[in-house]
Amino acid sequence: MEAAMDYTILSLGILIAPDRTAEQSMTPPEPRLCRDLSEASSRFSFQTYVFSSEDYDHHTGMLLGWRWQNGAWVRQSMPLPDIVYDRTFFHSKRDRLQCEEALSAIHARKAHQRINGSLPSKPIVYTRLAEDDTLARHIPPTTRYVTEELASFLASHGGKALIKPAAGMQGRGVILIRQSLWDDTVAVKGRTRDNRSFERIFPNLVELKKRLARFMGNSPFLLQPYLNLRDDKERPYDIRALLQKNGEGKWRLTGTAARIGRSGSLTSNLHGGGEVSDSCTLLSANFGKPMAERLLRKIHTISGHTAIRLEHGFGRFGELAMDFGIEPDGSIWLLEVNSKPGREAFRQTAPLTAYTASIERPIHYARYLKDRLSPTFTASESPYDLCQPHR
């Protein structure tokens, strides 16, 4: 049961990054999420709007925002937020600093709470999780990419390696490297920075490293072993688990969903053309239903332990999405953790129970934050049928 709501009207501001396009849009990023949050929050005594750092006037203290009214986004003056829901995806350090300055100025005029904290870079997250004995066995061995160390890494991992951006998302910039067993050639496949798939064969490792240097520029990349995370049809897949705090400030597993890539593709990300399936259905087809249920229980437990570990290291969070890969022998790997999770996988999975909960829980938690308590999680606190979305 979610905590009972009082009827004090609160202002919920959905924070987005500044729009730097030549023709500024009349629709916010993630329009479906913003709309669904706006419609749902109105039922729980919230006034919800979308704003960016550029909408705040530091001199007057006035804030403009976009409200969803009568089926359209309307721009108007808004009260300063009681709660901020951060959905910023920045394109520059300047935008990030500008955002923090605006939030600090707003907080000086009217104190607010944030639904979610932010995670540091992937290497820091991997390192913190690997320090935990319970989680270490589920964290893929990860090192920063260094050109001079690529050959030795390949030699110690069967001639295969996965390279990914340290700050990437949506499968962009992920590259699989495979050395030939018969000659010096190296096969490469992956996705470009703008998410286009590519494949190429290089005559040797020296030529590949030259091309990688141009591809990476000054951006940091990570090096991991290649893991066999494919289903019985040779399609890449992962299991997304969404954890959110409820109206009592307690972690709950909102749901899981399987994301499946195209046959022959490298990633399962939906932005790369993947599809969605019920997680228990997919795992049952590959492992049988009893094993599928055991795997999902394990994912539930790992997810809760991960959330607690991250809060101990990086502060309070209200929601976290975790992507898990599963090898044919049942080994579970925690691939990614996201503090600004999308909901598309749950919106595409019937019934929409988990999607509805994914929208409503941040609202319940926002109300709780007015009188917050310490976060807690118990792996067995949410009994449910593992093959069904749940609340």
Which of 72-81, 201-210, 364-373 is predicted with the least confidence, judged by mean pLDDT? 364-373
Round to whole Å and give the CA distance between 267 and 263: 10
Asked if residue 193 has pLDDT above 80, the reply is no
Round to whole Å and give the CA distance between 241 and 279: 10
Q: What is the pLDDT of residue 195?
A: 73
Question: What does each C-alpha distance from 347 to 49, 253, 290, 341, 355 come to in angstroms?
Answer: 22, 16, 26, 13, 5
Please state which CATH class domain 10-114 belongs to: alpha beta
Dihedral pair phi/psi, residue 26, rounded to 5° = -90, 5
Q: Which of 256, 254, 300 lies closest to 276 in space, CA to CA?
A: 256
Pick the residue with more confidence: 87 or 24? 87
Dihedral pair phi/psi, residue 370, rounded to 5° = -65, -20
Whole-model pTM? Answer: 0.89
Asked if residue 115 has pLDDT above 70, the reply is yes
Round to whole Å and give the CA distance between 34 and 372: 24
The residue-averaged pLDDT of 90-109 equals 92
Which of 9-13, 105-109, 337-341, 367-371 is predicted with the least confidence, judged by mean pLDDT? 367-371
Asked if residue 291 has pLDDT above 80, the reply is yes
Partners of 241 in the beta sheet?
Answer: 256, 322
Rg of the Cα atoms in the chain: 22
Pick the residue with more confidence: 375 or 299? 299
CB atoms within 10 A of CB 119: 19
Q: Which of 324, 304, 302 lies closest to 250 in space, CA to CA?
A: 304
Dihedral pair phi/psi, residue 190, rounded to 5° = 175, -155
Partners of 190 in the beta sheet?
Answer: 175, 198
Dump pLDDT digits (tens) for 327-338.
999 999 999 999
Written as one letter, the residue type at 215 is: F
Round to whole Å and give the CA distance between 259 and 277: 6
Specify the CATH number for 122-138+229-371; select among 3.40.980.10, 3.40.50.300, 3.30.470.20, 3.30.1360.10. Answer: 3.30.470.20
Dump pLDDT digits (tens) for 194-208.
777 888 999 999 999
